[in-house]
């Protein structure tokens, strides 16, 4: 019996440079894509799909806009201008031009020319106090509770800018300062300064010494004459090693303190005179609130009761 045929051993022949490359390496090369690469491919597909959707939405919106543009605008909604003057042009008032004038100063000049500076007002909420360089006066801004308009009141009490010194008038008259005019340097007295107005002897209560002391009030022509830049009363006294009290306080704040004004409270103006209203007597609701506040302080010390009564309007508002 013939022996079975032996399997023919297939001998590989080199057919190319890569014929004998390790089959394991080949398997690695033809292995499926890694999870990371597969994830990237999926993300790219999602991005492409989103782009297609966006293009479709944009094209639809553009078509809608084109349709809207073709529609006619109703004549009732179309803005029609007119020649009615408003603002600073209202009233045919012509104002002279002032160099470097602020908008506020110009507006106050306009109100003065128009006659709209408030002289009588039943109830007005004090919003702000400021200084106008054009009129060299403080002015108050009110919200008129009856007309719902903003009203301006200009000070008519002849309040002036000032600072204080502990030196006597006789000592202050000897104070000197230097002023350069070109190349010439001149020595002048404080009383010769252009911004100086006058001296006045007054008494102030010194809280540290717990007694009244004599002081000199020095008045200037403008707030800048008292404590501005360059030559002014404060700097002249400072160069002579004399302290100028209240010279660093801005004028409108000084005015608020001197007039005992409280922004946020309600005032009345009668014949140009400014007076604070008793908020408790304005209406029944205010009276009820005042009664409730007094009840809160009824068991306190007498000093606290006096304090609460003095500032009752502030507590109510």
Which pLDDT tens digit goes with each residue over 194-221?
Answer: 999 999 999 999 999 999 999 999 999 9
CB-neighbour burial class of residue 220 (10 A; exposed 0-12, middle 13-18, buried 19+): buried
- 3-state DSSP: the chain helix, strand, coil percent, rounded to 5? 40, 25, 40
Identify the band that residue 30 occupies on the pLDDT scale cut at 50, 70 and 90.
Answer: very low
Mean predicted confidence (pLDDT) in 47-53: 68
pLDDT the model gives residue 175: 95
Least confident segment among 3-7, 24-28, 39-43? 24-28
Q: How many CB atoms lie within 10 A of CB 130?
A: 15
pLDDT in the model for residue 23: 53
Q: Decide: residue 261, CB within 10 A, 0-12 exposed, 13-18 middle, 19+ buried.
A: middle
More confident call, 12 vs 48 = 48
When mean pLDDT is compared over 4-13, 39-48, 177-186, 308-317, the highest value belongs to: 177-186
The residues pairing with 220 across neighbouring beta strands, listed in sequence order, are 196
Examine the pLDDT at 106 and tell me if it is beyond 60: yes
- By the 8 A CB rule, do 195 and 224 touch? yes
User: For residues 55 and 140, which has the higher predicted lDDT (pLDDT)?
Assistant: 140
Q: How far apart are CA 114 and CA 109, in angstroms?
A: 9
CB of 235 closer than 8 Å to CB of 224: no
* In contact, 217 and 198? CB cutoff 8 Å: no
Ramachandran bin of 94, using left for φ above 0, alpha for ψ from -120 to 50, beta for the remaining angles: beta
Query: Whose CA is closest to 117, among 272, 263, 252?
Result: 272
The predicted pLDDT at position 310 comes to 84
Looking at residue 97, the DSSP 8-state letter turns out to be: P
Q: Quote the pLDDT of residue 286.
A: 81
Of the listed ranges 38-52, 231-245, 301-315, the least confidently predicted one is 38-52
The separation between the first and the last C-alpha atoms of the chain, rounded to the nearest angstrom, is 128
Which position has the higher pLDDT, 17 or 90? 90
């Amino acid at each position: 019996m013939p022996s079975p045929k032996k399997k023919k051993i297939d001998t590989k022949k080199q057919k190319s440079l890569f014929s004998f490359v390790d089959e394991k390496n080949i398997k690695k090369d033809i292995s499926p894509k890694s999870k990371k690469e597969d994830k990237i491919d999926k993300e790219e597909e999602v991005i492409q799909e989103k782009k297609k959707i966006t293009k479709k939405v944009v094209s639809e919106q553009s078509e809608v806009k084109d349709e809207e543009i073709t529609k006619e605008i109703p004549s009732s909604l179309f803005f029609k201008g007119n020649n009615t003057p408003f603002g600073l042009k209202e009233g045919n008032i012509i104002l002279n031009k002032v160099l470097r004038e602020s908008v506020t100063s110009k507006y106050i000049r306009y109100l003065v020319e128009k006659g709209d500076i408030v002289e009588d007002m039943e109830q007005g909420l004090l919003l702000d106090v400021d200084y106008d360089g054009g009129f060299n006066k403080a002015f108050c801004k009110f919200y008129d509770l009856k007309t719902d308009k903003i009203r301006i009141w200009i000070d008519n009490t002849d309040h002036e800018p000032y600072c204080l010194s502990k030196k006597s008038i006789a000592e202050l008259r000897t104070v000197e300062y230097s002023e350069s005019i070109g190349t010439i340097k001149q020595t002048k007295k404080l009383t010769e300064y252009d911004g100086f107005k006058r001296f006045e002897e007054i008494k102030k209560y010194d809280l540290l010494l717990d007694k009244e002391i004599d002081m000199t009030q020095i008045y200037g022509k403008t707030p800048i004459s008292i404590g501005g830049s360059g030559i002014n009363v404060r700097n002249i006294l400072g160069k002579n090693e004399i302290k100028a009290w209240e010279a660093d306080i801005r004028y409108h704040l000084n005015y608020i303190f001197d007039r005992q004004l409280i922004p946020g409270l309600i005032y009345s103006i009668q014949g140009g005179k400014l007076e604070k209203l008793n908020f408790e007597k304005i209406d029944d609701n205010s009276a009820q609130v005042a009664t409730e506040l007094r009840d809160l302080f009824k068991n306190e010390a007498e000093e606290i009761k006096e304090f609460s009564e003095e500032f009752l309007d502030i507590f109510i508002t």
